[in-house]
Amino acid sequence: MGTVIHSFYKLGNIIDRDVVVIGQGPVGLLFNAVLRNLGARRIMAIDPLPYRLEVGRQMGATHAICSASQAPVAAVAEITGGAMAGLAVEAVGVAETLGLVPDLCHRNAEVICFGVPDKDHIEGLMTVRMLDLLRQELRLIFSIGPNPDRDYRPALDWIVQGRIDVAPIVSHVLPFAEIQQAFAMAFDDPEPHQALKVVLKFP
């Protein structure tokens, strides 16, 4: 969670802002929780998988938008009364989700680019809608962090204080002897297992 908190040191005030979080994997889910703690007004989670969106609500999302069955831009427009989001978190790292950003945000919005492109498949390169980003005057903020001396302490404190419950993110706990299965569930084929964060238990 320290990597997520690292992003917020680069932003202004979060209180009463409308936010979209694109991607509800473990990182996107933690963004929901931190945004809730910092006072965001609406936290609109976008993901194609219903089981992730269900956990997204547990982690603080006020609205869940299933991109497999809903048009995300239309949904955000309806939720915000046409105002759109003032902050977008891109937590996937593919061209399709980054391409949604200009349409999800209002002019002068901020965008946290947190999703990491799959270098093995696309060499870290992707097409972006540069003209639309420019016309919207969006502020792109790239973040991967963290700063260990600064960012881990609030993460630990919030968990210990009960301000953030990370339990919903842990979908499976496996013995260390099943490490290969754990990696397969988490990275190769998570959907059939409804896998999110897979924890290994040492003897």
Average pLDDT for the chain: 94
The pLDDT tens digits for 169-200 are 999 999 999 999 999 998 888 888 999 999 99
Give Cβ neighbours of residue 87 (< 8 Å, ≥ 6 apart): 11, 14, 17, 18, 19, 20, 40, 105, 109, 110, 111, 112
Note the pLDDT tens digit of each residue in 75-119.
999 999 999 999 999 999 999 999 999 999 999 999 999 998 877
Q: Is residue 160 part of a domain?
A: no
Whether 150 is covered by a domain: the verdict is no
- The pLDDT, as a whole number, for residue 120 is 64
178 & 137 share domain: no
**How many domains is the chain built from?**
2
Q: Looking at residue 95, which CATH number applies to its domain?
A: 3.40.50.720
The verdict on residue 52 lying in a domain is yes
Residues 28 and 104 in one domain: yes
Which residues span the domain enclosing 87?
A: 2-142
In a domain, 173, yes or no: yes
158 in a domain, yes or no?
A: no
Q: What value does the mean pLDDT take over residues 8-14? A: 94
Q: Classify residue 149: in a domain, yes or no.
A: no
| Closest listed residue to residue 41, CA positions, set 80, 2, 1 | 80
Contact residues for 145 (Cβ-Cβ < 8 A; gap 6+): 2, 3, 6, 7, 151
- Do residues 141 and 170 touch, judged by C-beta distance below 8 A? no
Q: Please tell me whether residues 17 and 54 are part of one structural domain.
A: yes
Distance (Å, whole) CA 63 – CA 44: 5
Does residue 153 lie within any of the structural domains? no
CA quadruple 93, 1, 140, 74: dihedral positive or negative? Answer: positive
pTM, rounded to two decimals: 0.93
